[in-house]
Structure 1
């Protein structure tokens, strides 16, 4: 079995039925390095599966290697369906096959390292705006296809300019880093997403959540950030660092654009600031209308 060739180099998960694969994709919490797919597993559905796999927001950067009999027609199908390699069975030279797979693994690891650098905020070590835009777009398309829903939480640090002015920019950087890591520790579902949106603003994307659940998560985030008790004697909202939050929720479809949900969260954030900061404001998009 080909998985045995990599047992010393990687953790191998074997799936022998299509139903197992569907369940695994729904419950996944670890992104694999490679997908080794036997052509006999899906036969004429192989091309369709590859397209679905590569469109999956968590899997699109996971390379596919297809295995099958030494048949030029099947190999051509594999390579034109999105697979990066085709390995013919039986494995007459297992050590050569193992070396080939290890090379693919090293390439994946290096690409992930470089990708992580380009997608990570250099200060806070969470996702940057570029990565958020890409992930959000993919999740929006998924929600449209699956008739799902999503929520956004826009977070702004209250009176952060005065914090920088009085404590210095170095302390300001430390403050943002602590807040970012605290946010990340609370938001833990596989497809939930935390990013630095810009300056002292953060954004949290919560796919597949109801408005009530969005409120619960927002409250948990607020409590977690307050628990840091970072001193801020120059804030009008209290004597510690506080945040204001704007919440927005919708069921995406083709009648409006992804930017509208972000704009709604931003509008709600400004409402929270106008209300005195250290609080939250919510908005739900219903049939393309904003409801506060």
Structure 2
């Protein structure tokens, strides 16, 4: 199978510059190689915004040995899926068993044969590609083809942490198709599904920035994440969503407010702190959506940080 990509990255962790150079020379023609000479650097790279696809990890390391590094990696949600191969001169069965019990996927003993190292690395990278594809498929909404709520939750967690670290605002919008139950009742569920697909595709195409994300939150509700975006910018994006849906002119003759499909949108913006969770941002966007519905629908409302959630929500 010819699916290997040069942009796959291998992190080589070894306190010996000679060993790093040898493995680097062996692998660099097929993969991108990063190096670390200590555990602290290795963990920093693994937790960065561009983590490796595979880690070749020496066991005998100063300060933090390879076993401990592996244990830390596997205990973290952010790094637990990165495959780890131990490369070591230790060859006792109990040493190998310990590494595998900690979550390593393979064990290569020194001195090693270059062809064996490359073959094992290639096999494990191919397996990781398969796992990544399966994971990606599980993060896509089956009906609309855009990210699902699970993917939204993952991205929100990542971007919330990034915004907290950088002291920058992050915005979330919640959008709901107005009177969608009436649409389903009048046109039927097949047409309702087609409407959901058209709305999702329109929202996806309306986003212009690569860092932004729109996902199906459930039913006729959609959600967007806009990192590094203040209140005014988020409101502008939400309004572009509303106008784009209305401009499609999908007939909705049973809507009390319009002859075409429209959406109501709620927007919330926060600068993360250690005193509030990311879920609060979503809660406030949902509350703003409620206010948009209460005010007549087919409009955008933004929620101020000092506003508390309303009770209940119209359907």
TM bucket normalised to smaller: 0.7 to 0.9
**Contact preservation (8 Å) 2:9, 2:53:** no
Task: After TM superposition, list the pairs within 5 Å mapping 1:1-292 onto structure 2.
Answer: 9-12=4-7, 36-40=33-37, 43=38, 45-53=40-48, 56=49, 63-66=53-56, 72-74=59-61, 76=66, 79-80=70-71, 82=73, 84-86=84-86, 93-285=113-305, 289-290=306-307
The TM-score, its normalising length taken from structure 2, stands at 0.70
Residue in 1 aligned with 2:19?
Answer: none
Give the distance between the partners of 1:52 and 1:247, measured in 2 at CA. 30
Give the distance between the partners of 1:264 and 1:232, measured in 2 at CA. 29
When Rg is computed on C-alpha atoms for both structures, the one with the higher figure is: 2
The structure where helix makes up a greater share of residues is 1
Please state how far the C-alpha of 1:243 moved relative to its aligned partner.
Answer: 0.4
Structure 2 alignment gaps of length 5 or more: 11-30, 74-82, 89-107, 310-315
Give the distance between the partners of 2:185 and 2:269, measured in 1 at CA. 35
RMSD: 3.2
Residue in 2 aligned with 1:4?
Answer: none
**Contact preservation (8 Å) 1:39, 1:66:** no
The size of the alignment, in residue pairs, is 255
Structure 1 alignment gaps of length 5 or more: 1-6, 16-33
Give the distance between the partners of 1:188 and 1:66, measured in 2 at CA. 38
Give the distance between the partners of 1:209 and 1:94, measured in 2 at CA. 49
**Contact preservation (8 Å) 2:270, 2:281:** yes
The secondary structure found in structure 1 opposite 2:293 is helix
- Larger RCO (CA under 8 A, 6+ residues apart): 1
